[in-house]
Structure 1
Amino acid sequence: MGSVTTSKHANGLEYVDINTPLCKARVFMQGAQIDYFEPVGQKPLLWVSSADDYQPGNGIRGGIPVCWPWFGMSDNPDFPQHGFARTRIWSLESVKMRNQIVDLKFTLKISEEDKQYWPHDTSVELLFTLSDTLSVSLVNTNNCDYEVSLTQALHTYFPINDIHQLTASGFSGAKYIEFAKGPFPQEGDSVDFTRETDRVYTNLGECQELHTPDGIIEVRRENSQSAVLWNPWIEKSQRLSRFNSDDYLTMVCLEAANVLEDKVTLAPNESHTLTTHIRWKA
């Protein structure tokens, strides 16, 4: 049947360890951040920099950090980039196993300190379904008597072996903003990588693929018409924290998102679920 246990990293961070006939995975309480997912008999589907030392208070440089309740910089420049959820301790509310599939539910309580950033009465949950594929859902519910708007992303880092041999496809018909310029229409269906790439896509179809030397990774989204495609390339890699100068060669981020005109606006008592589904297609 498999096992789901809790343990502690050498640096003190607690995590959930999943080991079933279908997959091996690890999810940290800090940020409810999954940093490892390996379907049995296949290669891992998530990437983490070997420069990351898993220090409490720092989001892990890899896996799937949760950007919430805003993506990128806030309107207030003193607020943390990509929100505060990725560095807070979440609560593991439930663990269920059904036919070797594991379901995990995490919740985040907004602290008094964090109310300076987010004074709204909302609840947020992160749901994992772990089998031979990985599904992650970010659930927001507005408990206020007024509308609340937010942006968010599941900032997924993928292992791609060699950036020079990577082609990302499934972008036909979309538009993107890059380096604060645009929007530009996407030319063709695919993207190759020869420089720093930092594209925020909108009007995007639900499925993209990463064609790597190790196979094709399929990335599907639900309740999302936007996504982020990112590789820091050479110069920026030298400035990033917890990131080796040559890490850009072996990773790419393709992030399910609700950003720009795709932001989430919740009426009182309304909920929204952003989901990403990840698997080796071939």
Structure 2
Amino acid sequence: MGSVTTKKHPNGLDFVEINTALCQARIFHQGAQIDIFQPTDKAPLLWVSDADDYQPGNGIRGGIPICWPWFGASEITGFPQHGFARTSLWSLSSVKMRDQIVDLIFTLKITNEQQQYWPHDTEISVLFSLSDTLSVSIVNKNNGDYPISFTQALHTYFPIGDIHKLSATGFENSKYIEFGKGPYSQESDKVNFNRETDRVYTELGDTQILHTLEGDIQVSRDNSQSAVLWNPWIDKSQRLSRFKDDDYLTMVCHETANVLEDEVKLLPGESHTLTTHIRWL
């Protein structure tokens, strides 16, 4: 039998530890952020910087930060980068186990203070389904009486061994914007890395593969035609908080998203579920 246990990090953050015959995982209440997922007898599927000190109020530099209800910088000066969900305290509302597969649901109650950023009647929850595959879903429902729109992303950090030996495939016939320029059309299926990469893809197929030194990682998406591919490279690594100068060598972000023209638009009563599925091939 597996176990799901609530524990506290030495720095005060509460988390849920999951151990089953299929995997080990850890999910923090702050940000509903998973930072450990390792299938049994396989390498970890998530990366976290050794420089992160797990302080309350800071999103963890690794795992899967949840960017909501906007991705990147807000159009409004002073609003937090990537929204407020990734540093908010979520509640664990459901735990179910079936044949060593664990499903957990975290919900977010928007505070009076956060309503300055998001003054809409929205239900938001995150579903984690843990087996030898990790599936993470953001579920939104518009309970208001007028349409709403938003962008979002599951900002996944992957361990890749050596960025110089990484290739990513599954990008053929897509479009991307990089450093505010584009859109560019990508005819090649493959992406290699030899500089800072910060591509926001649209019109993208639903499955990509990261070819790493440890093996191939499959990343697939539901209800998403957009994704972000990011590695800060040398100069930006030196400017990032909670990130070592050489961390860029061992990580890449491939982020399941609803951004740009792929933003979510919900009429009253409508709901939307964004999902990423991650596994070793």
TM-score (norm. length: structure 2):
1.00
Amino acid in the other structure paired with 2:30: Q
Which secondary structure state, in structure 1, belongs to the residue aligned with residue 188 of structure 2? coil
Distance (whole Å) between structure 2 residues aligned to residue 157 and residue 141 of structure 1: 27
Distance (whole Å) between structure 2 residues aligned to residue 187 and residue 86 of structure 1: 34
Q: How much does 1:187 deviate? A: 3.2
Distance (whole Å) between structure 2 residues aligned to residue 155 and residue 227 of structure 1: 9
Which secondary structure state, in structure 2, belongs to the residue aligned with residue 76 of structure 1? coil
Amino acid in the other structure paired with 1:276: T
Match of residue 145 from structure 2: 145
Match of residue 53 from structure 2: 53
Match of residue 160 from structure 1: 160
Q: How much does 1:139 deviate? A: 0.3
Match of residue 107 from structure 2: 107
**Matched residues, number:** 281
Q: How much does 1:186 deviate? A: 0.8
Which secondary structure state, in structure 2, belongs to the residue aligned with residue 200 of structure 1? strand
Amino acid in the other structure paired with 2:264: V
Match of residue 241 from structure 1: 241
Q: How much does 1:37 deviate? A: 0.2
Amino acid in the other structure paired with 1:83: G
Match of residue 193 from structure 1: 193
Match of residue 35 from structure 1: 35
Which secondary structure state, in structure 2, belongs to the residue aligned with residue 243 of structure 1? coil
Distance (whole Å) between structure 2 residues aligned to residue 244 and residue 236 of structure 1: 11
Match of residue 87 from structure 2: 87
Which secondary structure state, in structure 2, belongs to the residue aligned with residue 53 of structure 1? coil
Distance (whole Å) between structure 2 residues aligned to residue 243 and residue 128 of structure 1: 26
Which secondary structure state, in structure 1, belongs to the residue aligned with residue 115 of structure 2? helix
Amino acid in the other structure paired with 2:138: L
Which secondary structure state, in structure 2, belongs to the residue aligned with residue 236 of structure 1? helix
Listed one character per residue, the Cα deviations across residues 122-175 of structure 1 (whole Å, up to 9, x for unaligned) are 010000000001000000000011000000000000000000000000000100
Which secondary structure state, in structure 2, belongs to the residue aligned with residue 248 of structure 1? helix
Match of residue 72 from structure 1: 72
Instruction: Show the 5 A alignment for 1:168-247.
Output: 168-247=168-247
> Could you say what the CA RMSD is over the residues aligned between the two structures, in angstroms?
0.4
Amino acid in the other structure paired with 1:17: E
TM-score (norm. length: structure 1):
0.99
Residue ranges of structure 1 left out of the alignment (5+ in a row): none
Listed one character per residue, the Cα deviations across residues 218-271 of structure 1 (whole Å, up to 9, x for unaligned) are 000000000000000000000000000000000000000000000000000000
Match of residue 264 from structure 2: 264
Structure 1 segments of 4+ aligned residues over 4 angstroms from their partners? none
* Identity percentage of aligned residues: 73
Distance (whole Å) between structure 2 residues aligned to residue 152 and residue 231 of structure 1: 19
Distance (whole Å) between structure 2 residues aligned to residue 95 and residue 149 of structure 1: 30
Distance (whole Å) between structure 1 residues aligned to residue 157 and residue 196 of structure 2: 15
Match of residue 134 from structure 1: 134
Distance (whole Å) between structure 1 residues aligned to residue 6 and residue 170 of structure 2: 38
Q: How much does 1:77 deviate? A: 1.9
Which secondary structure state, in structure 1, belongs to the residue aligned with residue 257 of structure 2? strand
Distance (whole Å) between structure 1 residues aligned to residue 151 and residue 17 of structure 2: 30
Match of residue 3 from structure 1: 3
Which secondary structure state, in structure 1, belongs to the residue aligned with residue 164 of structure 2? helix
